[in-house]
Structure formats: C-alpha cells, structure tokens
Structure 1
C-alpha cells in the first residue's frame, strides 16, 4: 500500500508551515466561535451509526466470518491501553522508517499481515489541555479540508471515553492505490496532544469501520484519577 501515508503526519507538517503559536490560538478561538454559531442541523445530517456495533470486550469477535481473539494492549509506556483484535503486530522502527520516511511518523504503528490495516498512535510535542481538545479537533478539521479538498467526510464528534474528552473524525481520502478510510482521534495525554489514526482501504470499510470505532471507544487512560482528582 505504497500510497498510504498517515494523515497526522501531513497534518502536523501543514500546521507547522501554516501557523505560528499566536495564529494557532486565534484559529482555535475562531473555530470555537464558529461552532457556537453553527446550526444543530450539521450533527443531524451526519449519518447515524448504521453499521453494526462490535462488542470488543468479548474474548473473540467475528471479522470477515472468522473468529478472532481480542487482546488488551498497553501503549506509550503504560500511559494508555486499547483492546484490539489479535491480528496486529508492532511495526519495526526499520520498516516504519522505510514506509514513513518523515521524522514526523507516528510514535507507534501497528499493522496486519497484509500491511493494509493500520493503527497508529502519535504523542506529539504540541501542548494540549483537556479543555482544548474540541478546539484542537476543529483546527485539524480545518487543515484537513484544505489538505484533502476531495475527501468524503463520514462523521465528526467530540465524546467522552474513560472520562476523558476525545474528538474524532471519519474521512475517506484518495490515494494512488485506492481510496482510504481513516478514523482519527485526538486526546490530551499528560498535557500533550495525542493523535490516533486507523486506516484501511475503502473496500474494507464495511468490515473494519465498526471494529475501528469499538477499538477507539475501548481506550483506557492511566492519567485518569479514579478518586475524584484532576484529569490531565
């Protein structure tokens, strides 16, 4: 899948080129104001979850009529964890450097035997507080709309996962070897911006979209205080 590049790699590069810190803060404020002024019909127009829900807390799930075990995978030195089908393995740094030559490649990249199903996590150096996640998502949407004007947008939302604010978007983008389904999500981890990316070929969307959403919703964050303390 030579044409596939992680969107967060492009996003970060574009943001660094397009915005200095003051401009970025201004864009956040404008995005927040724009969201307040937008009619609620935007969310109403977004398609409901018309794909089947996947219970990823089971020991096994069905993928393409095959029974696949599910594992709990710690990430980023225990800062978080995710439940995923036992089809993924961690891409070696050597292979990652070949596939994603930019130094802005994701921190962790999981892939399957075909290298067509990918799940990546990039803990960026960009400072992001919990209450800034929604504005960060709006800013990423703005940049993506400029970078991928012909993309097909499926869904965008800000939700709570394990008591933390998570923004996500689902988008289909064109590539040399076929259109790609991307699920991207954003969160604040210890005061830094986390960008997660799942992607697969659009031909596999029906199978993998519900699995990708279930994986994202299974995230657990070690920075959560379970005794009423602050959320980082």
Structure 2
C-alpha cells in the first residue's frame, strides 16, 4: 500500500513539471500564431490554409454596403470558405449586444437563425448561426456564423462563412477561430 502511494506521488511529481512546460509552449505557440485584426486592436488564431483576401477580391465578393474591412479565405476552396472582420463606427456597449442580436435574428427570421450568448477570453459576445440562400447554387446554401462584440465602445463583427457543401469540413475550425479572438 505504501509503495503504491509513493509511486503515485512520484508519477504526479514528475508529470506536473512536464505539464507546466507544455502549457508554456502552447502559450508561446498561441502568441506566435496570432494574426492582428481590427487595425491591430484584436487578434485571432487563423486555421491553417487561410490567406488574406486582396482588396480586389473583397470588392468582387462583397457588396460595398456590407463589405468587411478585412477577410481571410481558404485559397484551394476559391473563396467558398471565409473569415471576415469589420470594426464598425456604430456605438455599441457590451450590455447592448443581446438586443442587437435579437434585431438581427428578427431580420433573418425567414432562415431560422440560432442566437447564443457567450464569453470569449473575458469578453461577452453574441453569435448567430444561420444558413442563407446561395445565389451561385440555388440547391445549396451558405452557412454563416456572425459574432458581435463591443470593442472600444464600437460594434465589431466577425463572421465565418462556408458553402453548404464545405460546412462539415470547415465549420469546427471556423468556430474555434472565432472563439480565439482576443482584444
């Protein structure tokens, strides 16, 4: 019995320092893999394979009224999978986010959106998941995740989009990326 306790204590004592080393490496790796967004006011860990969208492609893909300031996409999927960010000039306090999300939900009611509240890296956010029609593929759709946050008293919108045929392949990584945003 004593030997088992000693062995258990030895295993724990040897494992704890190794765990501490792993977490330092992970923290260093997390910092090294972060990409600055929102004019350097925030950062995100982008999934592997995403590249920054050129201004020309942004103009081609998004109408002027809804164009994000910056976006990244999976090059091999030809723009069918994107992460986009827009730091708006609209005043928004964290406490106003649920009301704003409710308005957005009502605007998208035709498509049965799902709204959720969460805290990401200490900041409250609202998230809407919805599949909207795809003009390029009437039989398909576009899976959208919109994340609303308050940054410096302004509304920050982060989105993940994937066509329905690529949703299962990319949505988990897209959600993880949105959940990695720090500011």
Query: Could you say whether these structures have the same fold, taking a TM-score greater than 0.5 normalized by the shorter chain as the test?
Result: yes
Tell me, in whole angstroms, the C-alpha distance in 1 between the residues paired with 2:65 and 2:133: 23
The answer to whether the Cα contact below 8 Å between 2:94 and 2:149 also exists between their aligned partners in 1 is: yes
Q: Counterpart of 1:204 in 2: which secondary structure?
A: helix
Aligned to 1:166: 125
1:58-207 equivalences under 5 Å are: 71-113=33-75, 114-145=78-109, 149=110, 151-153=111-113, 155-176=114-135, 177=137, 178-207=140-169
Alpha-carbon displacement from aligned partner over 1:21-41 (angstroms, at most 9, x marks no partner): xxxxxxxxxxxxxxxxxxxxx
CA deviations 1:135-157 (Å, max 9, x no partner) are: 11111111122xxx1x243x321
Kept after mapping to 1: 8 A contact 2:38/2:86: no
Give TM-score scaled by structure 2 length.
0.75
Deviation at residue 117 of structure 1 after TM alignment: 0.7
Look up the match of 2:11: none
Structure with the bigger RCO (C-alpha within 8 Å, sep 6+) is 1
Tell me, which stretches of 5 or more residues in structure 2 are unaligned? 1-25
Q: Is the contact between residue 35 and residue 46 of structure 2 (CA under 8 Å) also seen in structure 1?
A: yes
CA distance in 2, matches of 1:169, 1:116: 19
Cα deviation for residue 58 of structure 1 reads 9.6
Cα-to-partner distance string for 1:40-63 (whole Å, 9 max, x where unaligned): xxxxxxxxxxxxxxxxx7999xxx
Structure 1 length normalisation: TM-score?
Answer: 0.60
Equivalenced residue count is 151
* Cα contact 1:172–1:181 (8 A) shared by 2: yes
Residues 110-141 of structure 1, C-alpha deviation per residue, up to 9 Å, x if partnerless?
Answer: 11212111110111111101111111111111
Q: Work out which of the two has the higher radius of gyration on C-alpha atoms and give 1 or 2.
A: 2
Aligned equivalent of 1:218 = 180
RMSD value over aligned CA atoms? 2.1
Deviation, 1:219, is: 1.1
* Structure 1 outlier segments of 4+, above 6 Å: 57-60
